[in-house]
Amino acid sequence: MSQHDSQFGFAANRRQFLSQAGGGFGALACASLLNSDKLLASSSTPQTHFAPRAKQVIYLFMHGGPSHVDLFDPKPALTKYAGQPLPESFGEVMTRRKVAANPLLQPLKPFRKYGESGIEVSDFLPHIAECVDDLCILRGCHGDSVNHPQSVYQMNTGSILMGKPSLGSWLTYGLGSENQNMPAFVVMLDQGAGIKGGPPAWGSGFLPATYQGTTVRTGETPILHLNKPEQMTRPQQRRLFDFIKQRNEEHLIQRQNDSELSARIDAYELAYRMQQTAPEVMDLSKETASMREQYGLDDNKTAEFGTRCLLARRMVESGVRFVQLYSGDTNGWDAHNDVLQNHTKYCEATDKPIAGLLNDLKQRGLLDETLVIWGGEFGRMPMSEQGTGRDHNPWGYTVWMAGGGVKGGMVYGATDDVGLRAVTDTVHVHDLHATILHLLGLDHELLTYFHNGREERLTDVAGNVVKEILV
Q: Are residues 35 and 84 in the same domain?
A: no
Amino acid at 23: G
* Cα-to-chain-centroid distance, residue 71: 20
What local confidence, expressed as pLDDT, does residue 272 receive?
60
* pLDDT for 236 beyond 60: yes
Q: 10 Å Cβ neighbour count for 364?
A: 11
Q: Is residue 231 part of a domain?
A: no
For 35-74, give one letter per residue: b (16+ CB within 10 A) or e. eeeeeebeeeebbbbeebbbbbbbbbbbbbbbbbbbbbbb
Q: What would the pLDDT profile of 368-415 be if each residue is shown by its tens digit?
A: 999 999 999 999 999 999 999 999 999 999 999 999 999 999 999 999
Which of 80-94, 146-160, 351-365 has the weakest average pLDDT?
80-94
Q: What would the pLDDT profile of 162-177 be if each residue is shown by its tens digit?
A: 999 999 999 999 998 8
What local confidence, expressed as pLDDT, does residue 191 receive?
82
Q: Are residues 334 and 438 in the same domain?
A: yes
Q: What would the pLDDT profile of 182-211 be if each residue is shown by its tens digit?
A: 889 999 999 878 899 999 999 999 998 889
Q: Is residue 261 part of a domain?
A: no
Task: Select from 394, 334, 345 the least CA-distant residue to 124.
Answer: 345
Percent of the residues in the chain that have a pLDDT greater than 70, as a whole number: 80
H helices, E strands: number in the chain: 14, 17
Q: Are residues 63 and 1 in the same domain?
A: no
Determine contact, residues 336/389, Cβ cutoff 8 Å: yes
State residue 69 phi and psi, 5-degree precision: -75, -10
DSSP three-state, residue 383: strand
Q: Give 23: exposed, middle or buried? Use CB within 10 Å, 0-12, 13-18, 19+.
A: exposed
Give the CA distances from residue 236 to residues 103, 243, 250, in Å, rounded to whole numbers and listed in that order. Answer: 69, 11, 21
Q: Are residues 170 and 219 in the same domain?
A: yes
Q: Is residue 268 part of a domain?
A: no
What local confidence, expressed as pLDDT, does residue 17 receive?
47
For the chain, the first-to-last Cα distance in angstroms comes to: 27
Q: Are residues 31 and 88 in the same domain?
A: no
Q: Is residue 174 part of a domain?
A: yes
Q: 10 Å Cβ neighbour count for 216?
A: 23
Determine contact, residues 37/303, Cβ cutoff 8 Å: no
* Cα-to-chain-centroid distance, residue 316: 14
More confident residue, 363 or 14: 363
Q: Is residue 244 part of a domain?
A: no
Q: Are residues 329 and 434 in the same domain?
A: yes
Cα(470)–Cα(466) distance, rounded to whole angstroms?
7
Q: Are residues 34 and 68 in the same domain?
A: no
Domain of 318, CATH number, reads 3.40.720
Cα(82)–Cα(75) distance, rounded to whole angstroms?
11
Q: Is residue 159 part of a domain?
A: yes
DSSP three-state, residue 382: coil
Percent of the residues in the chain that have a pLDDT greater than 90, as a whole number: 68
DSSP three-state, residue 370: strand
pLDDT band at 97 (very low <50, low <70, confident <90, very high): low
Q: Are residues 36 and 67 in the same domain?
A: no
DSSP three-state, residue 359: helix
* Cα-to-chain-centroid distance, residue 136: 17
pLDDT band at 254 (very low <50, low <70, confident <90, very high): confident
Instruction: Provide the domain count of the chain.
Output: 2
Cα(216)–Cα(156) distance, rounded to whole angstroms?
18
What local confidence, expressed as pLDDT, does residue 42 receive?
42
What local confidence, expressed as pLDDT, does residue 233 receive?
78
Which of 86-95, 315-324, 341-350, 418-427 has the weakest average pLDDT?
86-95
Cα(296)–Cα(311) distance, rounded to whole angstroms?
13
* Vertex 367: Cα angle to 426 and 180 (nearest 5): 105
pLDDT band at 19 (very low <50, low <70, confident <90, very high): very low
Q: Is residue 266 part of a domain?
A: no
Q: Are residues 346 and 402 in the same domain?
A: yes
Q: Is residue 49 part of a domain?
A: no
Cα(456)–Cα(447) distance, rounded to whole angstroms?
9
State residue 456 phi and psi, 5-degree precision: -90, 150
State residue 396 phi and psi, 5-degree precision: -165, 125
* pLDDT for 95 beyond 70: no
**Average pLDDT, stretch 408-430?**
97
Q: Are residues 391 and 425 in the same domain?
A: yes
Q: What would the pLDDT profile of 290-309 be if each residue is shown by its tens digit?
A: 999 999 999 999 999 999 99
Amino acid at 19: S
Q: Are residues 346 and 309 in the same domain?
A: yes
Positive or negative torsion for Cα 353, 359, 365, 371: positive
Q: Are residues 69 and 120 in the same domain?
A: yes
* pLDDT for 338 beyond 70: yes
* pLDDT for 270 beyond 90: no
Task: Select from 34, 54, 99, 55 the least CA-distant residue to 392.
Answer: 99
What is the domain extent for residue 206?
A: 55-223+275-469
Cα(164)–Cα(436) distance, rounded to whole angstroms?
17
DSSP three-state, residue 69: helix
Strand extents, DSSP E, 110-268 = 111-114, 119-122, 135-142, 185-188, 214-215
Average pLDDT, the chain: 86
Cα(42)–Cα(21) distance, rounded to whole angstroms?
23
**Average pLDDT, stretch 73-80?**
96
pLDDT band at 235 (very low <50, low <70, confident <90, very high): confident
DSSP three-state, residue 275: helix
CA torsion 180-186-191-192 (nearest 10°) is: -90
Q: Pairing between strand 135-142 and 410-412?
A: parallel
What local confidence, expressed as pLDDT, does residue 209 receive?
86
Cα(378)–Cα(392) distance, rounded to whole angstroms?
7
